[in-house]
A = this chain, B = another copy of it.
Amino acid sequence: MSERRVTAADVARSAGVSRATVGFVMNRTPGQTISEATRRRVLDEAERLGYRPHRAAQDLRRGHSKLILLVLPDWPIDFSMRRHLEEAAPALDEAGYSLVTYTRHAADRTRPLWELLSPEVVVGYLPFDDADVGSMRACGITKIVPDPADPIALTDSPAVTAGPALQVRHLYELGHRRLAFAAAADPRVSALVDARLRTARDAADRLGLGDLDVRPVDHRDGSADRAVRRWRDAGITGVVAYNDDTAAAAVGAALRAGLAVPGDLAVVGHDDSPIAAMFVPAISTVRLDDAGLGRRFAAEALHAADGRARPAADSGVEATLVARESTGPVPV
């Protein structure tokens, strides 16, 4: 117990140089010349002793930690979102940053995590409210990613708007002319739902289709059943769903109402989450380019951190339609 931790001073003593030299070697400090012999000796000794720089000390010196804090809203994490992050982490790591994700809970009176971690950048999936921004400022955090002065949510990015257009076009190409939009009832996701709905509307408009019939769809409160009944009566044959969960709810309600899917009602989801593939009938959906989005997210964060070049607004965004049974030509 209580093996004191190995410090740069230990390495210095052991290598027969000063502590400063160890620092220069470890950080490749520009403008410092170190002989190859010394460099090797220091490196070897550090390795041998198992030296790890003490993060708290580095952070203290630096004024902030090399962390990027991602604040997620407390809605059920979209499957795709999770995949983005897994892609982003290595990219950030390469630049020396670590990604910590933090799910914000509604009734949260606990101190927000940015106070405890003092990250270099805080990234929000949605823009922060004034209270949050104030709290960050008070902790000395200046790099906030939906820039509070100019709050463009990630939900406005092409990544979000590409999908719904594909959904509409897919149904159009299969011959559907009267379309509806299945929205999530959960108010917490309304921003994203609205963003996707807006794009779907635009796409429908451009194809000369009438307005979309928008209904909340939830499998728990009967809203899905009501929506399906209403759509049947209105002669609607194609449904664009906010995501795969709402798509599943819509398909489920249709089946329970005795409708054939896709015979009487075709439904297309969004995100390619597992439920879409597993449902019977399998649900057509939109798959986003997770790797690309992840890299883009990382680039955006690093732009804020380092000031390095910002990626083009539409780079790395690719959405593909995955056609399955729920819109397929052959009913199940």
Binding site for B on A (CB under 8 A): 1, 3, 5-6, 50, 52, 54-57, 59-60, 64-67, 74, 76-77, 82, 86, 89-90, 93, 98, 100-103, 105, 108, 110-111, 113, 115-118, 137-140, 142, 219-220, 245, 248-249, 251-252, 255-256, 274-275, 277-280
Residues of B within 8 A of A1 (CB): 142
Chain B: minimal CB distance from A136 (Å): 11
* A118 to B53 Cα, complex, angstroms: 11
Residues of B within 8 A of A140 (CB): 3, 5
Partner of A55, one of B93, B118, B248: B118
Residues of B within 8 A of A56 (CB): 56-57, 59-60, 64-65, 118
Residue pair B278, A278 in contact (C-beta under 8 Å): no
Complex A-B: 22 CB contacts under 8 Å = A55-B117, A55-B118, A56-B57, A56-B60, A56-B118, A57-B60, A74-B86, A86-B103, A100-B102, A100-B113, A101-B101, A245-B278, A248-B275, A248-B279, A249-B278, A251-B280, A252-B278, A256-B280, A274-B275, A275-B275, A275-B278, A280-B280
Residues of B within 8 A of A100 (CB): 100, 102, 113, 117
Residue pair A52, B138 in contact (C-beta under 8 Å): yes
In the complex, which residue of chain B has the Cβ closest to the Cβ of A53?
A: B115
Residues of B within 8 A of A108 (CB): 90
Residues of B within 8 A of A252 (CB): 278-280
* A114 to B256 Cα, complex, angstroms: 50
* A3 to B74 Cα, complex, angstroms: 32
Residues of B within 8 A of A139 (CB): 5, 52
Identical copies of this chain, number: 2
* A60 to B57 Cα, complex, angstroms: 6
Contact A60 to B50, CB < 8 A, known contacts A93-B110, A116-B66, A280-B280? no
Chain B: minimal CB distance from A70 (Å): 12
* A91 to B74 Cα, complex, angstroms: 18
Chain B: minimal CB distance from A91 (Å): 10
Residues of B within 8 A of A280 (CB): 251-252, 255-256, 279-280
Residues of B within 8 A of A111 (CB): 93, 98
In the complex, which residue of chain B has the Cβ closest to the Cβ of A256?
A: B280
Residues of B within 8 A of A82 (CB): 77
In the complex, which residue of chain B has the Cβ closest to the Cβ of A100?
A: B100
Residues of B within 8 A of A103 (CB): 86
* A268 to B251 Cα, complex, angstroms: 22
* A98 to B110 Cα, complex, angstroms: 9
Residues of B within 8 A of A113 (CB): 98, 100
* A108 to B220 Cα, complex, angstroms: 40
Residues of B within 8 A of A116 (CB): 55, 65-67, 98
